[in-house]
Structure formats: C-alpha cells, structure tokens
Structure 1
Amino acid sequence: MSTATGIGSMPGTTSADFAEATRLVLGELPDLPHVPELPGRGVGAQMTGRGLAVVAGLAADLQPAGWRLTDASGADHRRARSLLAQDLDTVEELAQDHVGAFKTQVAGPWTLAATVEKPRGDKVLSDHGARRELAQALAEGIGEHLADLRRRLRGVERWVVQVDEPALAAVVHAQVPTASGFGRHRKVDLPEASAHLEWVVSAITAAGAEAWVHSCAPQVPWSLVADTGVRGLSADLDMLGAGDLDTFAEVLESGRTAVLGVVPSTERPADPSDARVTERVQRWLDMLGLDPEVVRERLVVSPTCGLAGATPDWAARAVRLSATVARNL
C-alpha cells in the first residue's frame, strides 16, 4: 500500500492549534505522521526562523529586513528556539505511544542562505565562506535535533528528515534579489550547490535517518538533488516539468521514495474526489511506464504546498483525502 504524509505546514496561530494539528496527523496519517509547522504563529515559527532554531553554533536576530546572523542570539532567535522546544514537548506528549515512522522538516542550506543576512547586511548567499559555514552549522544542528527527537519518541523506528528547499531553483538560476532589490545574486555553480546539500544529507544519514528533499518551486534541478545521496524527492505534481519525470521515475525504480503533492492545499469550488485524484496518480505512473504494483510502497501521497493558508476544516479534509488516495493506490 502507498503511504500518505503531510508537507509540514498547517493552519493555526496558537499552541492549542499546534496540539490539534498534531492530533490530526497522528490520527489520520499513522504510517508517516510529521511534526506540524504553524507559520501563522509568527516569524519564529516560519521556515527560516525554525531553521535557525536548529542551526548549531551560530547566533541570529530579527532585523527590519529579516533574519541576520549576529555575535549573540537576539530575543527573537531565543524565542524561536523556545517555541521549537515547546512544540516538541507537545509532540512528545501526544505521540508517546507511536511506533513506526515519523517525519520532521527543516529549511535547507540554500533556502537559509537566500533568506538570512550576514552580520553587516546582504544575504549569506553573497559570500562563499559564509554560506559554507551556515550549511555546515545546519548539518551539525540537524544531528543534534535528531538526537533530541529520538530521546523524546523512543518507539519511532524510522526517522525521515524533509529538507525544504523552496529557494534552490532561484539560487541556481540567479533569481535571488540583492539587498537593493535592483539586482540579482550570481548563480551558484552546480557542484557547490550539490556539495552543500550533500553535507546536510550525510549528517542526516549518519544520524540514522532518511533524508528527503522537498521543493514546491518550478525549475528545481531534481537530477542534481537525486545525486546527493537523498532517499526521497518530494514535489507538487503540477510543478514537475517534462525533464523532471525521468528523474522521479529513476528514483522510484532505484528503490527510493517519491512524494507527490496531489491534493489541493486550499478549498476548490468543486471538491476533488479521492477517485479522481487516485486516477491522476495512476495516469502519471502509466506515463512513466511504472507498474503501480511494483512502486506503490515507495510512492507517498501528500497535499500540495500552502496548507498553512487553508481553513482548519479544509486542512483536515486534505489530510484525510491524502490518506484515502494512498489506500486506493
């Protein structure tokens, strides 16, 4: 049977909302629940803030222009770390009896480099040494984060770390704006882009977990990502170009995982039926020449990106629909 999971983000603005989201994913996605993320609670709960809460050995603070590396952690950085710890306390309490697999998410090295500033301004992306240091600090921090999760949830036998890289395509295609907004940062050469991802993937693997890379952006260099040692690729089906299909097919054929975002993350005038979504996935497999009977255990179904912007009712509906489609497959 195929598996269903969530991308990570969920709607909500309070700790009570986080607890409710945790109960939802534990109840409806029992084969692969995930640590929810509620970006609606503020910058410390959003992707960059949460990523900096995991990074080891680097301090940051929130400036008018966004997150910036600093000599000492500012109040917002301390709050981000405190919020992460509180969330994990909730997950520990509610998932104490969970056995099997569990997923957590963290911002990737290139997304952090494209959204965090150096101490004197401009993005970390603009400095070769700074982006290397940030990537290595992230790799170290993920190892510590996984060790913490293992202590909290001792029944989990299989950990998956989803590395979120929504900015990767912009980084390699020179589309990240400079501080002035009038220019673009130089593109990062593909060997360096690969190396930084490999550091993070290797740290996850060394910690005994599976590394998946997720992006919901178009023009992601998926063939590069697939060669970094990752065990899974995750994307919205609508964002995959013709050239990406072969890469996803090769991943499935090699025994690795492909996560397809196929359930709409926001409510539509016509409620999508599980039969229609299931048929769409089956057509995709048929187009790639893949036998559903052979690859279904490595195929994971999820909602598309953007679930944080949904109503709580629709978010619950999307999660349940993903689980139904996975059972259908």
Structure 2
Amino acid sequence: MSGAQGRGTGPAADPAAESAPAPVRWGAATGVGSMPGGDARDTAKGVAATVEDFPFLAELPARGPGADMTGRTIGLLAETYAHLEPSGWRVSDRPGRDTRRSRSLLGEDLDALEEFTQGYEGPLKIQAVGPWTLAAGLELRGGEAFLGDAGACRYLAESLAEGLTAHLAEVRRRVPGAAVVLQLDEPSLTAVLRGRVRTASGYRTYQAVDRQVVRDALAQVIERARAAGAAGTAVHSCAQDVPFALLRRAGADAVSFDATLLTERDDEAIGEAVEDGMRLLAGVVPGVEGPLSDPAGSVMGVRTLWRRLGLDPGLLAESVVCTPACGLAGASPAYARAALAHVVRAARSLADNPE
C-alpha cells in the first residue's frame, strides 16, 4: 500500500486537508448508522428529512452480506480483500464476488445520499468499523482473527486508514457542501482491551491488547481521516465500560455511547473529555422496539450527569448530540422513523431547558 506507515501523516502533509470544509457546528441530533429495510433511496430520503441538520450515510444490513457494517468496511479497505465463509469474513488474495457486492451496495447508498443532499451544507456523518472491532471480526487465511497477530493488526489499521481516505474524498465529491464527520464503530473495543474476544474454537480467548497499542492504531486512523479532510471524528460503542479516556487520548473529537449504561465510575473520564472539548453523542432513545418516553424524559439522564459533574449548563447543547442508543437495523421501519424523530425532539428539549 502507498501512504505513511505507523501513526500516519499529519494534516499539513496531505493536500486534501487544505480543501477540507471549514469547521462547523455539529447538528443537535443524528442516527448511529444502521437502519431497517433494503430500499436505499427511501432510507436516504427519510434520514435527510428527519435529522436534517446532521444527516448520515445509512447502512442497510437487511440486504444481506456486504451491506452489514463489517462487509461494508471490508469493501473500503485498500489492497485487502475478503470473502464469506460459514464462520464469517475471511481475507482473500484478490477481490471476489463478496467484495464486489459490498462495493456495489455502498455505491447504491452513495447514489441515494447524493440525490437527497443536493445543495446541503453542514455536518454529514459516515460510519466504518474501527480497526479493533475489524481485527476481532476478520479472519486470516487459517481461520483465526487478525486480532491474534500483532503485525496483521498493524497492516489492517493501515489498510483501513488508506481506504477511508479514498472514501472521504468520494463522499466530499458527491456532497461538496458537507463537513464530513467520520464515526468509527468499535463495539468490540472493551472486549479487545480485556481479553474477552473468543478464538475460532471458542475454547479460549485472545490475549488482551495493550492500551497503548490500541490507542496508537485508533490515533493512526483518526489522524489520517483528519488529514483527508474529515471535519470531525467520533468513536461509537454501545457496550458497557466505554474507554472514554483512551479515546480522548487517541484524538477522537467525540464518543458515541448508550447513555443508559453510564455509571458514576465514568464521571471523571467524561468530565475531563468534555472540558477538553470532546462532544458526546448520547444514545437517549432505545435502539430496539418499545415505547418512547416524552422528549424531556429521554434526556433526563444527560441533565443529571451534567449536574453531577458540575459542568456549565450552557455547554450542554453545544457538547451533546442526541442519538438512538445503538443502530436501528433490528427495529421496524415505523419504529426507526419514530426513533429518529424522537431524538430530534429530545435535542430540542435539551437546548430549550439545559438546567
């Protein structure tokens, strides 16, 4: 692969950074990424109309392999290919049917996004699986995950960083007025840090990865995305015990999480992150089917957290973006539409009544 090794190039080294959109205020509400159904145009139209100040490039995993978040990201990798085995995605020597399908489906999604964001100016979010969840879920030729091979993990992070550089350029070409925010999905990150990812046999787990190594790989991808013109970066995990401090040190501009899973042991790290300028993409609406509370009730936990941390209420609307707690792929289309509309109302409630 071409491109820098290690931690990647800085913004000044990449000409793309000079043409990046000027920093803008992030929207008040957005989605996590995945949506139900299989109609890219209908989904893009609904997203653009509902979270109109912070739309996102939706994933539609119901369309099958290659449309899921892992398959989509594999299609983005530079000089790394994979195919489907009964156990999951496995690396290949050359692009085959599964890689081509992944790229074709992404093309459909980008066509739909471009159609329904004509003339749009403002933040636009795209998602890709982060380097550690990808390493935990992508198999080497022998059937074990990349996670078990440190050199393979470094190669995969570089391939991802380079592939995302091209993807960012494509999105910016299609929606030239957008300030593109890259979200790295890392649902397996805590398991990677704690040595809880199981091997192919299921009888043992991979060794926990050193926190410095984890941070460096994330920093590499984040720095390369910023150099490629990303207006911001976020890391998403709807698991418990999100490592806020590590993500802040890796250079992420925001952390996306399930707000219902926070405990007081997260307070110090969250407080330091906010004071350092990080945004919180707070999942305040369930990602699974169920009754929706009133908008003010949905953000009560965020207000309580703010008071507990002693943070300035005036920073609340500036620092918090409301989202569903996780992706909406498992919900009905009706609930998914309602959930997105609800996070918009919840964000409005938070801005109108920050105390």
Q: Which category describes the TM-score, using the shorter chain as reference length? A: over 0.9
Shift in Å, 1:255: 2.1
Measure the CA separation in 1 of the matches of 2:59 and 2:248. 25
Q: Which residue of 2 aligns with 1:67?
A: 89
Measure the CA separation in 2 of the matches of 1:274 and 1:38. 27
Q: How many residues are matched?
A: 324
Measure the CA separation in 2 of the matches of 1:204 and 1:233. 16
Q: Which residue of 2 aligns with 1:201?
A: 222
Q: Which residue of 1 aligns with 2:236?
A: 214
2:56 pairs with 1:34: yes
Which blocks of at least 5 consecutive residues in structure 2 are unaligned? 1-24, 351-355
* 3-state SS, counterpart of residue 160 of structure 1: strand
Residue pairs, 1:1-329, within 5 angstroms? 3-12=28-37, 14=38, 16=39, 18-156=40-178, 158-209=179-230, 210-268=232-290, 270-329=291-350
What letter is aligned with 1:10?
M
Deviation digits for residues 237-274 of structure 1 (CA, Å, limit 9, x no counterpart): 12223332222222222222111001112232x43111
Shift in Å, 1:288: 1.6
* 3-state SS, counterpart of residue 329 of structure 2: helix
Shift in Å, 1:188: 0.5
Measure the CA separation in 1 of the matches of 2:276 and 2:246. 16
* Change in CA separation of 1:222 and 1:278 when aligned onto 2, cut-off 3 Å: closer
Could you tell which deviates more after superposition, 231-240 or 100-109?
231-240
* 3-state SS, counterpart of residue 106 of structure 1: strand
Shift in Å, 1:225: 1.2
What letter is aligned with 1:272?
S
What letter is aligned with 1:6?
G
Measure the CA separation in 1 of the matches of 2:275 and 2:295. 26
Deviation digits for residues 159-218 of structure 1 (CA, Å, limit 9, x no counterpart): 100000001111111111111111101111111111110111111111121111110111
Measure the CA separation in 2 of the matches of 1:280 and 1:232. 19
Percent sequence identity is 43
Measure the CA separation in 1 of the matches of 2:131 and 2:315. 34
* 3-state SS, counterpart of residue 32 of structure 2: coil
Measure the CA separation in 1 of the matches of 2:241 and 2:156. 24
Contact conserved, 1:122 with 1:179, CA < 8 A, in 2? Answer: yes
Could you tell which deviates more after superposition, 104-113 or 204-213?
204-213
Measure the CA separation in 2 of the matches of 1:253 and 1:219. 20
* 3-state SS, counterpart of residue 281 of structure 1: helix
- Alignment RMSD, CA only? 1.4
Measure the CA separation in 1 of the matches of 2:57 and 2:261. 24
What letter is aligned with 2:169?
A
Measure the CA separation in 2 of the matches of 1:135 and 1:215. 18
TM-score for both structures, normalised by structure 1: 0.95
Could you tell which deviates more after superposition, 144-153 or 284-293?
284-293
Measure the CA separation in 2 of the matches of 1:216 and 1:320. 20
Q: Which residue of 1 aligns with 2:5?
A: none
Measure the CA separation in 1 of the matches of 2:348 and 2:176. 27
Shift in Å, 1:231: 0.6
Which blocks of at least 5 consecutive residues in structure 1 are unaligned? none
Measure the CA separation in 1 of the matches of 2:345 and 2:280. 18
